[in-house]
């Protein structure tokens, strides 16, 4: 049996997509975001005590869950407190080199990051090990954690389909407030002068309110299922989205032409957008300078490159499960990705 710990939008999405999975309430870090990009890093720094308390809570929560549900193994998606010596535990992240905007702070954050990661049995990185990578130095730091590290490839829930383009552009909103709403309002204002068929996905899985119609060529949805979203992306010529890493992996796996707008002040998203833009995999622009009509024209003239995608997750998970059955809790150093 599989258990998933989550709350809020993530819990709503998991319940919708995987109703057969047992969902356990686990509160997130509940980081508050500012609408002023210049104060983003300072805002996060001030919330570090709350984040550390959340990590300690996760650790206590996990110990109780292991005992109550007889858990055999744990996979943590960037949740630092979900480590244990009782059973095998894996930490999944592409953020080995955390971006803060200052090199001194980066080094300090990496030390803290590795201090927690090294408490797990192994670390899986959703990226490729060589040049065909999407996260650059974020997932390829000079120094790796001390525990066994495996690159598992680019993960995506979507599959490429050969479909006619029904939409010139699909805008996929996501991320924290208030920036999600700020960007939505900007998009809707610019849509009034956009003459091509378009679809706007608001990224609100727990919102059941009726969606307002803006004009005849624009469709708006609060949220779509994975299969519906997969179809819409395949039916769209261009995708406008944040440069969050999960979104990037999805778009590159589908070979979609993307225009990425980093969430203001989120240094990681800004780095990924610039990194992929330099490799000519995407077009990128700041939210402040974004103009819909202007950048669709640029996209029409832009020569997009492609990158090799694919993942080795199934092989690695099967190997890991075999190790658990034989009480070999860590992957052997000789294990190779096939």
Q: Give residue limits of the domains in the chain.
A: 3-155+311-325, 167-301
Report the Cα–Cα distance between both ends of the chain, in Å, rounded: 27
Top pLDDT among 129 and 104 is at 129
Given a contact cutoff of 8 angstroms between Cβ atoms, the answer to whether 218 and 198 are in contact is: yes
Q: Do 3-155+311-325 and 167-301 come out as alike in CATH topology?
A: yes
- In the three-class reduction of DSSP (H, G, I as helix; E, B as strand; rest coil), residue 303 is classed as coil
Instruction: Encode pLDDT of 250-270 as tens digits.
Output: 999 999 999 999 998 888 999
Mean pLDDT of 291-301: 96
- Are 116 and 52 in contact, with CB atoms under 8 Å apart? no
CATH class assigned to 167-301:
alpha beta
Cα–Cα distance, 274 to 279 (Å, whole number): 9
pLDDT in tens, 113-160: 999 999 999 999 999 998 889 999 999 999 999 999 999 999 999 999
Q: Is the pLDDT of residue 338 over 50?
A: no
Dihedral sign of CA atoms 200, 205, 209, 210 in order: positive
Q: Which residues contact 201 (CB under 8 A, 6 or more apart)?
A: 170, 171, 172, 173, 221, 223, 224, 229, 232
Tell me how far CA of residue 163 lies from CA of 1, 159, 218, 232, 237, in angstroms: 36, 12, 20, 10, 10
The total of other beta-carbon atoms located within 10 Å of residue 252's CB is: 21
- Which residue reads 């309002």 in tokens? 185
| This prediction's pTM | 0.87
pLDDT tens digits for range 193-227: 899 999 999 998 877 676 766 677 899 999 898 99
**What DSSP letter does each residue of 127-193 carry, written as one string?**
S-SSSS-SSGGGTS-SS--SS-EEE-B---S---------EEEEEE--SSTTHHHHHHHHHHHHHTT
Q: What is the pLDDT of residue 337?
A: 32
Q: Are 86 and 64 in contact (CB under 8 A)?
A: no
The hierarchical CATH code for the domain 3-155+311-325 is: 3.40.50
Residue 245 has pLDDT above 50, yes or no: yes
- Work out the average pLDDT over 105-109: 80
Judge whether residue 62 has pLDDT over 70.
yes
What is residue 214's predicted lDDT score, i.e. its pLDDT? 63
DSSP 311: B
pLDDT of 236 reads 97
315 confidence band (pLDDT: 50, 70, 90): confident
Task: Give 9-36 pLDDT, tens digit per residue.
Answer: 788 888 888 899 999 999 887 777 665 5
Q: Identify the band that residue 335 occupies on the pLDDT scale cut at 50, 70 and 90.
A: very low
């Amino acid at each position: 049996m599989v258990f998933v710990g989550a709350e809020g939008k993530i819990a709503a999405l998991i319940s919708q997509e995987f109703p057969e999975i047992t969902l356990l309430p686990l509160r997130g870090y509940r980081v508050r975001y500012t609408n002023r990009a210049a104060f983003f890093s300072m805002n996060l720094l001030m919330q570090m005590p709350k984040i550390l308390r959340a990590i300690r809570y996760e650790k206590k929560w996990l110990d109780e869950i292991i005992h109550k549900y007889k858990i055999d193994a744990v996979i943590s998606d960037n949740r630092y407190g979900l480590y244990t010596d009782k059973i095998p535990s894996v930490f999944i992240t592409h953020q080995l080199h955390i971006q803060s905007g200052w090199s001194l702070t980066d080094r300090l954050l990496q030390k803290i990051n590795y201090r927690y990661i090294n408490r797990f049995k192994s670390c899986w990185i959703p990226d490729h090990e060589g040049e065909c990578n999407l996260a650059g130095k974020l997932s390829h730091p000079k120094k790796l954690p001390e525990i066994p590290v495996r690159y598992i490839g680019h993960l995506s829930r979507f599959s490429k389909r050969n479909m006619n383009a029904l939409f010139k552009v699909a805008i996929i909103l996501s991320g924290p407030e208030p920036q999600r709403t700020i960007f939505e309002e900007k998009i809707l204002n610019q849509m009034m002068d956009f003459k091509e068929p378009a679809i706007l996905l608001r990224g609100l899985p727990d919102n059941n309110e009726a969606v307002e119609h803006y004009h005849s060529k624009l469709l708006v949805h609060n949220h779509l299922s994975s299969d519906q979203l997969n179809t819409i992306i395949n039916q769209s010529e261009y995708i406008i989205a944040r440069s969050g890493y999960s979104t990037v992996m999805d778009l590159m796996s589908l070979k979609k032409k993307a225009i990425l707008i980093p969430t203001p002040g989120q240094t990681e998203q800004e780095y990924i957008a610039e990194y992929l833009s330099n490799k000519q995999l995407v077009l990128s622009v700041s939210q402040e300078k974004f103009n819909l009509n202007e950048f669709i024209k640029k996209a029409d003239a832009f020569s997009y490159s492609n990158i090799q995608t694919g993942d080795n997750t199934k092989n690695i998970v099967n190997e890991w499960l075999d190790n658990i059955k034989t009480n070999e809790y860590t992957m052997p150093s000789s294990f190779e990705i096939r």
